[in-house]
Amino acid sequence: MWQTQAMQYLYWLQIHLPLPGFAFFGALLEEVVSPIPATVVQIGVGRLAETQNYPWYGIIFLGFIGAFGNTLGALWSYGIYRLIGAWLIKTMGKWVGITQAKIQTARDFLQKGARDDVVIFLLRALPFVPIFNPSVICGILGIRFSTFVIATFLGYAVRNCYMLTVGFVGVDAFKNGDPKAIGLLILIAVVVGIMIFISNHHARRATEPTQSIDVV
């Protein structure tokens, strides 16, 4: 019942909001109401962009706008489970074989270098829905807030741009090798490469030991 109401509200947003507003609030709703698949929102926004004669760079703009909405929605689950994660493991972990020691081991493994950045980025960027909600897992593991936000935003930006491109040019365009579709994919690949480079550079700097300066 509530899923149907969510889809009806999504349709209302599509009618009453300008396209950037629909991209933002649709992505926010998609993240909070998990049964709403990403393809419904992002491919739908891409199709609307094509009918409204958006320029090609508008796809990237809409992808980033949607990523803001996705990230804001993801913070809801992350924040809740960051607060109650320890209590859940203590009271219910024994029933599923999860202990605080195992959680600490997983946390220590992920927080070595840029592992947590890469894992969160890939979970968000890949165009499929994981079995487990990454926001819930990150909250329980106590992943750093800044790491969660940055990796989530960049990953969703990549995924959104991909989905938007599919909606913008159509699936048949990819099958037929349409230059417009190929050009957009190349552009997105360049943007993705730049974002990965910046993310990796930031992660390397964060793990470098701070050099002390001796004052004579």
189-206 pLDDT, tens digit per residue, is 666 666 666 556 555 545
Contact at 8 Å (CB) between 87 and 46?
A: no
Residue 213 lies in a domain: no
Q: What is the pLDDT of residues 148-191, one digit of tens each?
A: 998 899 889 988 888 888 888 775 666 566 666 666 666 666 66
Residue 215 lies in a domain: no
- Return the number of other C-beta atoms located less than 10 Å from residue 69's C-beta: 24
Residue 210 lies in a domain: no
Q: What's the total number of domains in the chain?
A: 1
Backbone angles phi, psi at 25, to 5 degrees: -70, -30
* 107 pLDDT tier (thresholds 50, 70, 90): confident
From the number of C-beta atoms within 10 Å of its C-beta (0-12, 13-18, 19+), residue 201 rates as: exposed
Residue 214 lies in a domain: no
The encoded tokens of residue 113 equal 């270098």
Residue 127 lies in a domain: yes
Which of 197, 118, 124 minimizes the C-alpha distance to 157?
124
Residue 74 lies in a domain: yes
Residue 142 lies in a domain: yes
Spatial separation of the C-alpha atoms in residues 188 and 43, rounded to whole Å:
15
* 209 pLDDT tier (thresholds 50, 70, 90): very low
From the number of C-beta atoms within 10 Å of its C-beta (0-12, 13-18, 19+), residue 200 rates as: middle
Domain with 201 in it:
2-205
Q: What is the pLDDT of residues 108-160, one digit of tens each?
A: 777 666 677 778 888 888 776 555 688 888 888 888 888 899 889 988 998 88
Residue 34 lies in a domain: yes
pLDDT of residue 161: 86
